[in-house]
């Protein structure tokens, strides 16, 4: 049991705070046994004195002893809910801290765990007071532990009654503190988890919903994402061709951006509030996409060394939001992809559909970015294969996000059979041995996947992109192998979405086949076969293409596999019953 000196005793002359605390502990062996109420009464007495400073060391002692009692039995915290010492501690918190904050957080955590309206009201008073206190790292960690516990307890209380206990007037101290901590390197991740729990509680309470909508929630998470993306932009200034994206600064900055995107998606997935979701999407649209994301690649020239890593960052963001595994009842988090990709063309539906976005549009002006001209512009960066490769990968993401009104082939069975015959003949002329069964399995899985069929864009025109792709196919043998890998991926994705343009590709492949027959020798053919065996043994073409030092060998291998994949694609289109899901 814990012991306590008389509540009215004062430190002996010359006794330090440390000595006072040790004396209080030692006295536990000789003084009477005390209760939580006794200790709280002693704290009240010390804080009520006119000479507050004289009792501060004793207050610190008693707070620590109170924590010790609650560690033995947390249920004793019930005696503190209505005790006058608690509001006094909140009123006079500043002179009591900083070292005492971890102990106080533990005490109020025990109170929160009682999960009653009165206990949460008591904790809310403490949270309001602590917002004005500068905390050290230990204090910050302790406070976030208290916040998460309080959020959890709030869910139980709100489900049983109301959210009144969380409010202090119109403010919600719990929400304010979580928002204050959301960007912290130490506890930011925990604070964001707490905010997601708050959104879950909001779904049960319209008053809390409106309070979150009216709060700075959307502004703060938008500023956090913006700050992380600015760090990513700054990290590209150190980019060199030798370091590439292996730069630890670039990787760390990119990981932080993606972490904030996950939080944004989780917020949308967790929320049942249409108003909150619309506001989140509007802030994402105006303050991130239009103010930062597109300008970051729009304002960089083709000769700027930062362009490669900037496009890599853009591609990762785009890939992340278009491949989110989370889908809630209204699919709101998927709309992040819609917001970004709606700017592929001149279509401006997003801004028109969100009133908040139009209210914020003055921040970025009337000019709307367009992705299609940027893709076409950067595909002209002939001296930088990294830029071309990443731009093609971005184009592939756009294509796979397209959901045409009917994915079925318009060609007749005889037309498709003719395409199969043409591709099989080309495959034989290229000495592309082996069957296409593996590719057929992959394509079937792709065509039947929800991810493939839930494209977020309905009406897109790819005429200019197709013309550029056909032009790049004509220089296939002189292209960088990495470029050709990305190029064939876009062509394949377009054919999967709309097979009707494949007859435009085949004549170019036939010309490439003729060129192959002209320069191919027995020695070359044998070297290619050895190369193919090595590639299969060491992880496949995607993984090994960068190790192939002779572009001609690499490009022949890529062309062979591409033709096999196209043949498999047409076969699947002939025999696979398609049940396209329209979203």
pLDDT, greater one: 575 or 348:
575
* CATH code, domain carrying 129: 1.25.10
Can you give the pLDDT at residue 536?
Answer: 73
C-beta of residue 301 within 8 angstroms of C-beta of residue 307: yes
pLDDT for 3: 34
What pLDDT, on a 0 to 100 scale, did the predictor assign at position 582? 36
Q: What average pLDDT does the structure give for the chain?
A: 82
* 312 within 8 A of 245, measured Cβ to Cβ: yes
Residues 6+ apart with CB under 8 A from 124: 165, 166, 167, 168, 173, 174
Q: At what angle do helices 551-575 and 481-497 cross, to 10 degrees?
A: 10
CB-based contacts of 456: which residues, under 8 Å, 6+ apart?
A: 322, 334, 335, 337, 338, 341, 401, 403, 583
pLDDT-based confidence at residue 351 (cuts at 50, 70, 90): very low
Residue 356 pLDDT: 61
360 and 230 in a common domain: yes
Q: Which domain holds residue 278?
A: 223-378
pLDDT recorded at residue 354: 52
pLDDT tens readout for residues 252-305? 999 999 999 999 999 999 999 999 999 999 999 888 998 899 988 888 888 888
- Judged by average pLDDT, the poorest of 171-175, 446-450, 491-495 is 446-450
β-strand partners of 3? 33
DSSP character at residue 580 = P
Asked whether residue 31 falls in the same domain as residue 151, the answer is yes
The DSSP code sequence of 368-417 is: PP-HHHHHHHHTT-TT-HHHHHHHHHHHHHHHHTB--S--S--S-HHHHH
User: Is residue 4 in some structural domain?
Assistant: no
pLDDT of residue 133: 83
- C-alpha 403/C-alpha 389 separation (Å) is 24
Count of structural domains within the chain: 3
Residues 163 and 60 in one domain: yes
Q: Is the pLDDT of residue 18 over 50?
A: no
Q: Which of 217, 243, 261 is the last residue of a domain?
A: 217
Cβ–Cβ < 8 Å for 500, 568:
no
Average pLDDT over residues 412-421: 88
The verdict on 366 and 430 lying in the same domain is no
Query: What mean pLDDT do residues 224-231 have?
Result: 94
Q: Do 148 and 294 sit in the same domain of this protein? A: no
Could you tell me if residue 387 is inside a domain? no
Q: Does one domain contain both 338 and 432?
A: no
Same domain for 243 and 201?
A: no
So what's the pLDDT on residue 578?
Answer: 47
And the tokens for 71?
């560690």
pLDDT in tens, 303-350: 888 888 999 999 999 999 888 655 444 566 578 888 888 888 655 444
Say if residue 47 is in the same domain as residue 102.
Answer: yes
pLDDT higher for 131 or 514?
A: 514
Q: Which phi and psi angles does 165 have, rounded to 5°?
A: -65, -15
**Is 356 a domain residue?**
yes
**Which tokens go with 2?**
């814990």
Concatenating the DSSP letter of every residue in 138-186 gives: HHHHHHHHHHHHHHHHHHHHHHHS-SGGG-BTTB-HHHHHHHHHTT-TT
* pLDDT above 50 (res 141): yes
14: left (phi over 0), alpha (psi -120 to 50) or beta: left
User: What per-residue string of b and e applies to 363-381 under the rule 16 or more CB within 10 Å gives b?
Assistant: ebeeebbebbebbeebbeb
pLDDT at 120: 93
More confident call, 57 vs 184: 184
Q: What is the pLDDT of residues 535-553, one digit of tens each?
A: 777 666 665 666 566 788 8
Which of 153, 186, 217 delimits the end of a domain? 217
Q: Is residue 5 in some structural domain?
A: no
The reported pLDDT for the residue numbered 38 is 94
Q: Is residue 154 part of a domain?
A: yes
3-state secondary structure of 290: helix
Pairwise CA distance, residues 404 & 475, whole Å: 30
Q: Is the bond preceding 98 in cis, omega lying within 30 degrees of 0?
A: yes
* Whether 441 and 522 share a structural domain: yes
Among 319, 343, 378, the domain-final residue is: 378
Q: What is the mean pLDDT of residues 165-185?
A: 89
| DSSP result, 308-371 | HHHHHHHHHHHHHHHS-----TT-GGGHHHHHHHGGGSS--HHHHH-HHHHHHGGGT-SPPP-H
Q: What percent of the chain has pLDDT over 90?
A: 46
Residue 389 lies in a domain: no
* Structural domain includes residue 159: yes
Query: Taking a C-beta distance cutoff of 8 angstroms, is the pair 502, 409 a contact?
Result: no
Cβ-contact 237, 306 below 8 angstroms? yes
Contact 395, 465 (CB under 8 A): yes
- For residue 249, give Cα distances in angstroms to 231, 260, 297, 535: 9, 17, 19, 32
d(CA 363, CA 289): 12
Q: Is pLDDT of 579 > 60?
A: no
Phi then psi for 170, rounded to 5 degrees?
Answer: -90, -10
Beta-carbon contacts of 496 under 8 Å, excluding residues fewer than 6 positions away, are 443, 446, 447, 452, 569
pLDDT at 463 exceeding the cut of 80: yes
Tokens 């977020």 found at: 456
Q: Is the pLDDT of residue 58 over 90?
A: no
pLDDT of 6 reads 37
Asked if residues 104 and 47 have their Cβ atoms less than 8 Å apart, the reply is no
Angstrom distance (rounded) from CA 393 to CA 395: 5
Q: 37 and 85 in contact (C-beta within 8 Å)?
A: no
Instruction: Give the global pTM.
Output: 0.83
Determine, yes or no, domain membership for 423: yes
The predicted structure's pLDDT at residue 224 = 93
Q: CA triplet 168, 172, 173: central angle to 5 degrees?
A: 90
More confident residue, 535 or 230: 230
Query: What pLDDT, in 10s, does the model give residues 240-251?
Result: 555 555 678 899
Do 123 and 250 fall into the same domain? no
Per-residue pLDDT at 510 exceeds 80: yes
Q: Are residues 300 and 422 in the same domain?
A: no
For residues 112 and 1, the model is more confident at 112
Interior angle at CA 224, CA 337 and CA 291, nearest 5: 55
Whether 159 and 272 share a structural domain = no
Q: What kind and span of H or E run contains 339?
A: helix 335-341
Task: State residue 402's pLDDT score.
Answer: 81
pLDDT over 80 (residue 457): no
- What pLDDT is attached to residue 227? 94
Cα–Cα dist 555/550, whole Å? 9
């Amino acid at each position: 049991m814990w012991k306590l000196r008389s509540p009215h005793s004062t430190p002996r002359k010359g006794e330090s705070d440390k000595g006072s605390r040790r004396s209080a502990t030692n006295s536990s062996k000789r003084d009477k046994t005390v209760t939580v109420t006794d200790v709280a009464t002693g704290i009240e007495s010390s804080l009520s004195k006119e000479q507050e400073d004289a009792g501060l060391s004793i207050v610190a002692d008693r707070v620590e002893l109170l924590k010790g009692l609650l560690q033995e039995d947390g249920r004793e915290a019930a005696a503190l809910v209505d005790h006058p010492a608690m509001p006094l501690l909140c009123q006079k918190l500043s002179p009591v801290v900083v070292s005492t904050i971890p102990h106080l957080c533990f005490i109020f955590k025990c109170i929160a765990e009682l999960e009653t309206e009165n206990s949460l009201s008591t904790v809310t008073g403490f949270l309001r007071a602590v917002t004005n206190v500068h905390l050290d790292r230990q204090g910050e960690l302790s406070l976030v532990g208290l916040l998460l516990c309080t959020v959890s307890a709030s869910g139980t209380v709100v489900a049983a009654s109301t959210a009144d206990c969380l409010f202090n007037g119109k403010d919600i101290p719990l929400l304010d503190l979580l928002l204050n901590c959301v960007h912290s390197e130490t506890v930011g991740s925990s604070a964001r988890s707490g905010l997601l729990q708050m959104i879950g509680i909001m779904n049960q309470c319209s008053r809390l919903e409106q309070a979150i909508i009216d709060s700075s929630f959307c502004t703060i998470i938008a500023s956090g994402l913006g700050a992380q993306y600015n760090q990513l932009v700054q990290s590209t200034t150190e980019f060199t061709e030798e370091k590439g994206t292996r730069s630890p600064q670039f990787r760390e900055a990119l990981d932080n951006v993606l972490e904030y995107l996950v939080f944004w998606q989780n917020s949308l997935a967790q929320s049942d509030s249409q108003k909150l979701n619309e506001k989140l999407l509007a802030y994402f649209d105006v303050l991130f996409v239009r103010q930062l994301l597109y300008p970051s690649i729009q304002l960089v020239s083709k000769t700027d060394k930062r362009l490669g890593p900037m496009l890599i960052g853009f591609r990762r963001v785009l890939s992340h939001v278009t491949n989110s595994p989370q889908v809630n009842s209204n699919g709101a988090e998927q709309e992040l992809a819609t917001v970004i990709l709606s700017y592929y063309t001149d279509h401006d539906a997003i801004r028109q559909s969100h009133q908040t976005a139009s209210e914020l549009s003055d921040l970025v002006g009337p000019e709307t970015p367009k992705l299609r001209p940027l893709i076409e512009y950067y595909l002209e960066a002939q001296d930088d294969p990294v830029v071309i490769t990443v731009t093609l990968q971005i184009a592939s993401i756009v294509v796979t996000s397209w959901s045409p009104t009917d994915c079925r082939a318009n060609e007749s069975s005889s037309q498709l059979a003719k395409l199969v015959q043409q591709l099989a003949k080309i495959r034989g002329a290229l000495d592309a041995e082996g069957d296409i069964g593996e590719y057929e399995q992959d394509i079937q899985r792709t065509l039947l996947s929800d991810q493939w069929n839930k494209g977020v864009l309905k009406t897109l025109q790819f005429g200019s992109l197709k013309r550029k792709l056909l032009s790049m196919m004509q220089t296939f043998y002189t292209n960088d192998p990495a470029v050709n890998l990305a190029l064939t991926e876009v062509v394949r994705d377009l054919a999967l979405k709309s097979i009707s343009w494949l007859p435009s590709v085949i004549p170019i492949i036939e010309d490439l086949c003729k060129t192959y027959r002209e320069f191919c020798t027995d020695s070359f053919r044998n070297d290619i076969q050895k190369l193919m065996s090595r590639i299969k043994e060491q992880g496949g073409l995607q993984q090994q293409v960068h190790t192939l030092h002779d572009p001609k060998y690499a490009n022949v291998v890529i062309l062979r596999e591409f033709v096999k994949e196209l043949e498999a694609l047409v076969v699947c289109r002939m025999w696979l019953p398609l049940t396209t899901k329209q979203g």
